[in-house]
Chain A
Amino acid sequence: MQNFSALSLLRRAFGGHESWQPQWRTPEPKPEYDVVIIGAGGHGLGTAYYLAKEHGITNVAVIERGWLGGGNTGRNTTIIRSNYLFSESAALYDHSVKLWETLSQELNYNVMYSPRGVMMLAHTIHDIQVFKRHVHANRANGVDNEWLTPEQAKDFCPPLNISAKLRYPVLGASLQRRGGTARHDAVAWGFARAADAMGVDIIQNCPVTAIRRSATGEVEGVETERGTIRAKKIAVVAAGHTSVVMNMAGVRMPLESFPLQALVSEPVKPAFPCVVMSNTVHAYISQSDKGELVIGAGTDAYVSYSQRGGLHVAQHTLDAICELFPMFRRMRMLRNWGGIVDTTPDRSPIIAKTPVPGLYVNCGWGTGGFKATPGSANIFAHTIARDEPHRINAPFTIERFRDGVMIDEAAAAAVAH
């Protein structure tokens, strides 16, 4: 693996940058692996990385139907935060934030993690109560989160309109200073490059079409468009397609898949210092280092795999953005797109063993799993390697729906983010 450093960049600059090698191989699939991971998004690639790095399991294939990072990993608005209400969630997401802090150094790949602060706006009395409850619960869990008055919110984000005349005026905000953004593609590429260097095979353009099980029930391997691949451990990390893939093993999941949209504006000079979210009026906005405003919209109401989403959904978000940040009213939007997000009934993920021996699943991240990429991958690798959950993901089972021990962030946040 070629190392990135100021010196290596400088040296190759003199050679016209012609001596760079591909960042990962394009191997032929082997007939058998110790672990097959289905889905080369950030979570799947990260899982392969931590299996190799922390558990010494390198005979691993990551099988991807399209191109690596082409799913939700490459389609999301990259908001990173850990100020979730319940202790289980705070532990999970904060584990991830801690890994983000050193991920670029660890992977020798710049994932552009930028803790510029995530501010969540309160517009109703109920919002104020809920956010203050979050601030207190987070602090009790050692997660930073603070309450801001409207004036303090405007100090932190000067473009914000705090006029009392708004349809939904800003009554305050909560701020997690350690929250921020990262470069979505770089996360997939960095994990892919580092996993590949340790011997992991990344097999792209290769949809998994069936999961084979023995007469006694345990998994034996997968059928793909490029033949059979045997493995005693199979890990499904297929985001919006999890129900489809798990169905191949005969497991019905508590999941529904919806299109979620995002859009970016034309690039402009640095104008927006932080991330602002409003769950009440549905606006999620930050500015990329390229200068584009990155805007997250809502989901469509119905199950769909269309990767598009209705225009009225995006328009609803733009209405809110224009009201909160009047200076953006005349900006042009350049591109919009959709990703398919898999949501659970309690809007918390499932990172667990399954009823099928040798089959593991990491899914249900819905509209908010990018922030969890390194943390989720790290504990999922542990679960696969040891065949038992890590302390942090022990509560995130499929059986919690049977047992009634939900981690109800849906009710806690009123939305899925």
Chain B
Amino acid sequence: MLLIACPYCGERPEIEFAYGGEAHIARPADPSAMSDEEWAAFLYARTNPKGTHAERWRHTNGCGRFFNAVRDTVTDFFVATYKTGEPRPDLTPRSVV
């Protein structure tokens, strides 16, 4: 089981959290101007990288708040966690084949 550092509560076991998918996917500012392709890309296309991944988590069985994390999807190592609204930390990305 992973240990996840909630930016509000500190390190807690994985089962206290819910995964929220890829982070920093902004809802389009002008939805009616979007083509079907753009909508599909926004709703369904995901980076799904092998390497560092910015993602949302929610401390469901704790403070209940959403936050973001950067995790290495090969090792599951959490490189950083940070509050929603803060920019993605400027880390050297790793990507593997």
Residues of A in contact with B (beta carbons under 8 Å apart): 65, 207-209, 241, 243-244, 252-257, 301-306, 308, 310-312, 345, 401-403
The interface centre, meaning the residue of A208, A209, A252, A305 with most chain B CB atoms within 10 A of its CB, is A305
Residue on A with the closest CB to B2?
Answer: A310
Contacts of B1 in A (CB 8 A): 310-312
B15 within 8 A of partner (CB): yes
Taking CB atoms and an 8 Å cut-off, the chain B residues in 48-97 that contact chain A are 48-50, 53, 55, 71, 73-76, 96-97
Using A244-B49, A403-B36 as known contacts, say yes or no to A301 and B19 having CB atoms under 8 A apart: yes
Which residue of chain A has the shortest Cβ distance to B71 in the bound complex? A302
Other than the given A244-B49, A312-B1, 19 more pairs (CB < 8 A) read A209-B97, A244-B97, A252-B41, A252-B45, A254-B44, A254-B46, A255-B46, A256-B21, A256-B48, A301-B18, A301-B19, A302-B19, A303-B22, A303-B53, A305-B96, A306-B73, A310-B2, A345-B43, A401-B43
Residue of A nearest to B15 (CB): A312
Which residue of B is nearest A400, CB measured? B40
A207 to B45, CA, bound (A): 24
Looking at the complex, which one of A253, A345, A403 makes contact with B48 (CB distance below 8 Å)? A253
Complex contact A345–B71 (CB within 8 A): no
Query: Which residues from A are CB-within-8-Å of B41?
Result: 252
Give 14 pairs: A residue, B residue, CB < 8 Å, sorted on A.
Answer: A244-B48, A244-B97, A254-B40, A254-B45, A254-B46, A257-B73, A301-B18, A304-B73, A305-B96, A312-B14, A401-B40, A401-B44, A402-B37, A402-B39
Does the CB pair A256–B74 fall under 8 Å?
Answer: no
Cβ–Cβ < 8 Å partners of A208 in chain B: 97
| In the complex, B32 has a CB within 8 A of chain A | no
List the A side residues contacting B14 at CB < 8 Å: 310, 312
Q: B55–A306 contact, CB under 8 A? A: no
List the interface of chain B (C-beta within 8 A of A).
Answer: 1-2, 14-15, 18-19, 21-22, 36-37, 39-41, 43-50, 53, 55, 71, 73-76, 96-97
B24–chain A nearest beta-carbon distance, Å: 14
CA distance in complex: A244, B50 (Å): 7
Cβ distance B48 to chain A, nearest Cβ, rounded Å: 4
Task: Knowing A243-B48, A252-B47, A310-B14 are in contact, say whether A402-B75 is a contact too (CB < 8 A).
Answer: no
**Does A243 lie within 8 Å of B74, measured CB to CB?**
no
- Residues of B near A256 (CB, < 8 A) are 21, 46, 48
Cβ-defined contact, A305 with B73, below 8 A: yes
Could you say which residues of chain A place their CB within 8 Å of the CB of B39?
A: 402
Instruction: Give bound CA distance, A252 to B25, whole Å.
Output: 14
Q: Are B48 and A255 in contact (CB under 8 A)?
A: yes
Residues of B within 8 A of A402 (CB): 36-37, 39-40
Cβ of B74 and Cβ of A345 under 8 Å apart? no
What CA separation (Å) do A256 and B53 show in the bound complex?
Answer: 12
B55 touches A302 (CB 8 A): yes
With a cutoff of 8 Å between Cβ atoms, the chain A residues found around residue B22 in the complex are 303
The answer on a CB contact under 8 Å between B97 and A207 is yes
Q: Is there an interface contact between A306 and B46, defined as CB atoms closer than 8 Å?
A: no
Contact pick for B75, options A207, A252, A306, CB 8 Å: A306
A residues near B74, Cβ cutoff 8 Å: 305-306
| Distance from A284 Cβ to chain B, minimum over Cβ atoms (Å) | 22
Whole-angstrom CA separation of A241 from B76 in the bound complex: 16
Residues of B within 8 A of A244 (CB): 48-50, 96-97
Tell me the complex Cα distance, A311–B2, Å: 10
In whole Å, how far is A242's beta carbon from the nearest beta carbon of chain B?
Answer: 8
Give A285 to B51 CA distance when docked, in angstroms.
33
Q: In the assembly, what is the distance between CA of A301 and CA of B53, in Å? A: 14
What is the chain B residue whose CB lies nearest that of A402? Answer: B40
Instruction: Closest B residue to A346 by CB, please name it.
Output: B44
Q: Are B50 and A241 in contact (CB under 8 A)?
A: yes
A306 to B74 CA separation, bound complex (whole angstroms)? 5
Closest 4 CB pairs of A and B: A243-B48, A254-B44, A402-B40, A301-B19
Closest to A344 in B: B44
Q: Which of B15, B55, B96 contacts A303 (CB 8 A)?
A: B55
* Contact B44 A345, beta carbon cutoff 8 Å: yes
Please give the distance in Å from A97's CB to the nearest CB on chain B: 29
Q: In the docked arrangement, what's the CA distance between A209 and B71, Å?
A: 23
| Contact assessment for A243 and B73 in the assembled complex, using a CB-CB cutoff below 8 Å | no
Q: CA A207 – CA B74 in complex, angstroms?
A: 16
A232 to B47, CA, bound (A): 26
Q: When chains A and B are docked, how far (Å) is the Cα of A209 from the Cα of B14? A: 33
Residue from B15, B50, B55 with most neighbouring chain A CB atoms (10 Å): B50
Question: In the bound complex, what is the Cα–Cα distance between A243 and B44 (angstroms)?
Answer: 13
Q: Which residue of A lies closest to B35 (CB)?
A: A402
Q: Which residues of the other chain, A, contact B21 by a CB distance below 8 angstroms?
A: 256
Bound complex: CA of A207 vs CA of B50, how far in Å? 14
In the complex, chain B residues whose CB is within 8 Å of the CB of A253? 45-46, 48
